[in-house]
């Protein structure tokens, strides 16, 4: 049973120790290794354990039709065998994205695993990984389940920021979020726009969210918009009372 001694939901001491050791181990590995190939190996090995319950190793039998689904799963746990949407964008910085791609895949796959719903662990895991993905990750940040980013390297997050579940941070042109801002669940923040005449062409437009600003659930912030300090975007329950 979770420890709720001070009114705050908490894992048991034994579980907390294991969780902290795992996050610290990953933090150390991604600090030591910046090469995409080595990071991909670390992520692959971790996802094998999370999804298949066994270490990576052994040779796949690629000839049996009956084993094809299992082979597809096994191969797709390796970031080198998958493509992500950001790789298709012409404006991507290939070097920066290549370094972060294994971590972006880890982020997505963690949140799609049962562990992603472990609130205490998930908050700490995402902040650890964000320090290796984002341009800046402030102190005391809380990022909830299912948050999506595009590149990550164009995203700067200040201290005390809260980003609730399923928010999208499309940082192609750059997004800056000031201290103590709150991004509501399912909010959409863009930093680019598609041209009307030629939809395949994109105009990059940096977006900023000021300190203590609030972006309501399901609200949309368009590319190039600057939300000032303390401003609110979207409708909040108190606004309708």
The partner residues of 127 in beta bridges, in order of sequence, read none
Which range is most confident: 201-205, 219-223, 232-236?
219-223
Mean per-residue pLDDT for 53-79?
89
115 and 158 assigned to the same domain: no
pTM: 0.91
127 and 207 assigned to the same domain: no
At residue 66, the pLDDT reads 81
87 and 154 assigned to the same domain: no
At residue 241, the pLDDT reads 47
At residue 59, the pLDDT reads 85
106 and 144 assigned to the same domain: no
Domain count, the chain: 2
Q: How far apart are CA 142 and CA 116, in angstroms?
A: 14
48 and 28 assigned to the same domain: yes
- No. of helices (H) and no. of strands (E), the chain: 5, 16
| 7-33 exposure pattern, b = at least 16 Cβ within 10 A, e = fewer | eeeebeeeebeebeebbeebbebbeee
Question: Each residue of 133-157: pLDDT tens digit?
Answer: 999 999 999 999 999 999 999 999 9
Query: Which of these three, 133, 150, 175, is where a domain ends?
Result: 133
Q: Which domain holds residue 216?
A: 135-241
124 and 152 assigned to the same domain: no
Q: Is the pLDDT of residue 2 over 60?
A: no
108 and 161 assigned to the same domain: no
Question: Each residue of 90-103: pLDDT tens digit?
Answer: 999 999 999 999 99
96 and 85 assigned to the same domain: yes
Query: Which of these three, 133, 157, 192, is where a domain ends?
Result: 133
Tokens (6 digits) for 2: 């979770």
Strands (E), the chain: 136-137, 142-143, 148-149, 155-157, 162-163, 168-170, 175-177, 182-183, 188-190, 192-194, 202-204, 207-209, 214-215, 220-221, 226-227, 232-233
């Amino acid at each position: 049973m979770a420890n709720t001694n001070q009114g705050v939901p908490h894992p048991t001491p034994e579980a907390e120790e294991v969780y902290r050791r795992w996050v610290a181990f990953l933090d150390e590995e991604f600090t030591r290794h910046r090469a995409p190939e080595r990071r991909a190996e670390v992520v692959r090995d971790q996802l094998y354990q999370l999804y298949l319950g066994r270490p990576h190793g052994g040779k796949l039998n690629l000839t049996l039709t009956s084993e094809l689904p299992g082979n597809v799963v096994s191969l797709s746990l390796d970031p080198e065998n998958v493509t992500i949407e950001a790789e298709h964008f012409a404006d991507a910085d290939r070097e920066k994205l290549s370094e972060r791609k294994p971590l972006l895949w880890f982020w997505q796959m963690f949140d799609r695993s049962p562990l992603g719903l472990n609130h205490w662990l998930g908050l700490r895991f995402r902040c650890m990984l964000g320090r290796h993905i984002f341009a800046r990750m402030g102190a005391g940040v809380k990022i909830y389940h299912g948050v999506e980013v595009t590149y990550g390297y164009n995203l700067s997050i200040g201290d005390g920021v809260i980003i609730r579940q399923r928010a999208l941070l499309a940082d192609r042109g750059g997004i800056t979020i000031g201290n103590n801002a709150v991004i509501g669940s399912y909010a959409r923040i863009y930093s680019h726009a598609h041209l009307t005449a030629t939809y395949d062409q994109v105009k990059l437009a940096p977006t900023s969210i000021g300190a203590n600003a609030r972006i309501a659930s399901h609200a949309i912030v368009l590319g190039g918009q600057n939300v000032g300090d303390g401003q609110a975007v979207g409708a909040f329950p108190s606004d309708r009372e």
